[in-house]
């Protein structure tokens, strides 16, 4: 997304990736393109005030809209589908969801509150309530990545397979040292290294964790109404969506006790079982057979917001780190904000998403 955004504005771009692009966390992503942020608007309002919280939500809404229109403008074949999202009450949180819905309306955000009865009759889901929101989407994240890279390369970008091991930013240019001894000299560097942050970025607001997902066998006859994107109103939530071949993808079970890939993989059988049970509780009609189970690094920030902007103490080095359940939405936002910044613009969002902010 960053390469596409920068090449669209006429910048000359070199992409460095030590692996095949799309094989990082993007390959593990369940790719629900939500504009609703992992932290409710009410919680962000308590932390930062209404104006700033509403600005973050509005930016996130515009990012999903921008990403959808980008895929349509360039006819990107990534199975993108417009979706509603259903933000479900957990236990008796219906009242706080109603208040959240009213606050969102005050911020000019779309969506309606469904009480227990209307939720049950429209979606056949028995919870205390939900917020139903338009303008979300889902997509194939790897195809999206590869197509955006193709577009960028078509505009002159080049891709180098290399490990970036050193960054020197004191001079007029940034020097990126690669393993093997080569160096790349650039006017600016944007770090989009997913959950593997180089040592020069030291946020205090970010927390490493792991997340799991399952995909059931295809069961198009058993899906919940309207193929909505479903997620729960709690910090460690479960979420689910369907795929174009009728599977249910269901995820969550975040766990910060297993960060290394081997430790994470060892938990797969137990996490798969917990996800299967949670899916069964949410949607009893679902078939039980799980075809795939996988996990990935899934860092979060305390406030649910991304890390976007100048890397403190590093001249002309910028970060594009979208975390949590909005990683893809925030990546698009980062790509647009940083390309605008490097073309002479600015935005108050750089303060909201500052790498060195404290929550």
Beta-strand relationship, 239-242 and 290-297: unpaired
**Alpha-carbon span 50 to 45, nearest angstrom:** 5
Binding segment for ligand FAD (CB under 6 A), chosen from 23-31, 113-121, 147-155, 216-224, is 23-31
> Does position 21 bind ligand FAD by CB under 6 A?
yes
Binding residues among 165-194 for ligand FAD as defined by CB under 6 A: 192-194
Contact residue for ligand FAD among 3, 13, 15, 28 (CB under 6 A) = 28
Binding residues among 132-151 for ligand FAD as defined by CB under 6 A: none
Contact criterion met (CB below 8 Å) for 11 and 345: no
Beta-strand relationship, 300-301 and 183-186: unpaired
**Per-residue binding letters, 269-308, with ligand FAD (x by CB under 6 A):** ---------------------------xxx----------
Contact residue for ligand FAD among 3, 13, 15, 31 (CB under 6 A) = 31
**How far apart are CB 121 and ligand FAD at their closest, in Å?**
27
Contact criterion met (CB below 8 Å) for 180 and 166: no
Nearer Cβ to ligand FAD, position 29 or 152? 29
Nearer Cβ to ligand FAD, position 28 or 128? 28
The distance of Cα 128 from the centroid of its chain, to the nearest Å, equals 27
> Does position 53 bind ligand FAD by CB under 6 A?
no
> Does position 25 bind ligand FAD by CB under 6 A?
yes
Rg (CA), the chain: 20
Nearer Cβ to ligand FAD, position 99 or 178? 178
**How far apart are CB 157 and ligand FAD at their closest, in Å?**
15
Nearer Cβ to ligand FAD, position 94 or 194? 194
Q: Which residues bind to ligand FAD, rule: CB under 6 A?
A: 16-19, 21, 23-26, 28-32, 163-164, 192-196, 198, 211, 213, 251, 296-298, 322, 325-329, 331
């Amino acid at each position: 997304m960053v390469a596409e955004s920068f090449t669209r504005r006429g910048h000359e771009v070199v992409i460095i990736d030590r692996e095949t692009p799309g094989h990082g966390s993007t390959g593990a992503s369940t790719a629900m393109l939500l504009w609703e942020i992992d932290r409710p608007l009410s919680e962000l309002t308590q932390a930062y005030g209404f104006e700033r919280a509403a600005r973050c939500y509005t930016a996130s809404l515009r990012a999903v809209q921008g990403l959808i229109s980008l895929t349509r403008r360039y006819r990107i074949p990534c199975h993108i589908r417009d979706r509603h999202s259903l933000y479900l009450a957990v236990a008796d949180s219906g009242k706080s969801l109603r208040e959240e819905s009213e606050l969102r309306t005050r911020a000019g955000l779309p969506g309606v509150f469904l009480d227990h009865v209307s939720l049950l009759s429209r979606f056949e889901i028995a919870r205390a309530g939900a917020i139903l929101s338009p303008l979300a989407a889902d997509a194939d994240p790897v195809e999206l990545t590869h197509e955006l890279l193709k577009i960028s390369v078509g505009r002159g970008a080049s891709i180098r397979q290399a490990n970036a091991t050193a960054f020197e930013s004191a001079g007029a240019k940034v020097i990126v040292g690669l393993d093997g001894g080569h160096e790349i000299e650039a006017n600016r560097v944007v770090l989009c290294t997913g959950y593997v942050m180089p040592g020069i970025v030291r946020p205090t607001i970010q927390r490493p964790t792991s997340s799991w997902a399952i995909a059931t066998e295809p069961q198009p006859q058993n899906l919940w109404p309207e193929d909505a994107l479903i997620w729960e109103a709690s910090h460690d939530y479960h979420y689910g969506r369907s795929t174009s071949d009728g599977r249910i993808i269901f995820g969550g079970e975040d766990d910060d006790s297993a960060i290394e890939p081997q430790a994470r993989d060892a938990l797969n059988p137990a996490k798969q079982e917990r996800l299967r049970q949670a899916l069964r509780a949410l949607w009893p009609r679902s078939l039980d057979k799980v075809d795939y189970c996988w996990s990935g690094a899934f860092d979060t920030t305390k406030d649910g917001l991304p890390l976007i902007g100048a890397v403190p103490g590093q001249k002309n080095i910028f970060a594009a780190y979208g975390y949590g359940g909005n990683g893809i939405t925030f990546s698009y936002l980062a790509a647009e904000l940083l390309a605008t910044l490097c073309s002479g613009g600015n935005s108050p969002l750089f303060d909201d998403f500052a790498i060195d902010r404290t929550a």
